[in-house]
Amino acid sequence: MNKRKLQEIVGVNFLRLGVIFTAFFLISFLYIIFSKGGSVLSWTFFTDFPREGMTTGGIYPAIVGTLYLTILSILIALPLGVFTAIYMVHLAKPYWLMRIVRIAVNTLAGVPSIIYGLFGLTLFVRIMQLEVSLISGALTLAILALPVIINASEEAIRSVPRSFREGSLALGATERQTIMRVIVPTALPNILTGAIISIGRVAGETAPIMFTAATFYSRMLPTSINHEVMALPYHIYALMTEGSKPDQQVPIAYGTAVVLLLLVMFVSATAIIIRYKIRKSRKW
């Protein structure tokens, strides 16, 4: 066998090994989570409150809490992020401010999430006196989601062909009308994809809400944004670190993990479907 052929075989098998390892980790990950958590899954697990010090019952308030936190934080971050992105692409003045914003955005994107938690605790909970509440947590998560949303929106807005802007302006539209009627609608599907991806991220975060919003146990659902809430990721953390009956708590923790995974998978699937539809309709 000649040398080149040997190199070819070694090379391909090296790549194959990489794929096998990745697949192994992924499959064993899913197997462990689902096999350990699958046993507690039932209809009432989704619809019941936790009972008897977390040892039985469902996780309904944590699902609701995560849903509230996620929706509220995206509602805050999405408009802010889109406005920032529009400004960065189309106004982009003064230059020094743009540089600072860009550095800030990229730095924020790399900050560990526990630091967001400390920041939220200081600014929202203490200084702004919002207490440990749904709104404090949502604001903290919104800041966490902002870099992702800004970057995705900026990319989406930048990829709107220049000719659309020129066409609109040449018809006598103002800059504002051009942005609102042509550029944002054209970029919207891609902006939304970015938002959905950040939903997945926000829903799964524990550290930012630990000091700002989450509670170990709540006897009722939050009825105002000033209430503290239960949340899926924090519920897992609490079940694994507190309480005195690990035998009963651990399966519930894994069950909660399954629910969280399903939630994130569902969200990601939605993102993929939207992206697919955009690509199909993109013809310019």
Partner 1 sequence: MVKELIKTKNLKLWFTDNYVLHDLDFTVYEKKITALIGPSGCGKSTLLRSFNRMNDLIPECKIEGEILLEGQNIYDSKADVTDVRTKIGMVFQRPNPFPKTIYNNVAYGLQIRGEKRKSVLDDVVEKSLRDAWIWDEVKDRLHTSALSLSGGQQQRMCIARALANQPKVLLLDEPTSALDPKSTAKIEELCIDLKDKVTILIVTHNIAQAGRISDYTTFMYLGDIIEFGETKRVFTVPKDKRTEDYLTGVFG
Query: In the complex, what is the shortest distance from the CB of residue 186 to partner 1, in angstroms, rounded to a whole number?
Result: 5
Comparison of 156 and 229: residue with beta carbon closer to partner 1: 156
Angle (CA) 198 229 122, round 5° = 75
Comparison of 64 and 274: residue with beta carbon closer to partner 1: 274
56 bridge partner residues: 51
181 in contact with partner 1 (CB under 8 A): yes
Comparison of 38 and 167: residue with beta carbon closer to partner 1: 167
Name residues contacting partner 1, limited to 142-171 (CB under 8 A).
161, 163-164, 166-171
CA distance 175 to 50: 54
Residue type, 141: L
User: Of 136, 151, 186, 193, which lies in the binding site for partner 1, with binding defined by CB under 8 A?
Assistant: 186
Integer angstrom CA distances of residue 160 from 91, 109, 171, 184: 15, 24, 18, 9
182 in contact with partner 1 (CB under 8 A): yes
Helices (H) then strands (E): counts for the chain: 12, 2
Query: In the complex, what is the shortest distance from the CB of residue 95 to partner 1, in angstroms, rounded to a whole number?
Result: 12
Name residues contacting partner 1, limited to 255-284 (CB under 8 A).
281, 283-284
Q: Where are the extended beta strands (E) located within 190-275?
A: none
Choices 15-23, 100-108, 174-182, 199-207 (CB under 8 A): range interacting with partner 1: 174-182
CA distance 218 to 224: 14
CA distance 43 to 58: 9
Query: In the complex, what is the shortest distance from the CB of residue 168 to partner 1, in angstroms, rounded to a whole number?
Result: 7
Question: What is the contact surface with partner 1 in residues (CB under 8 A)?
Answer: 161, 163-164, 166-174, 177, 181-182, 185-186, 281, 283-284
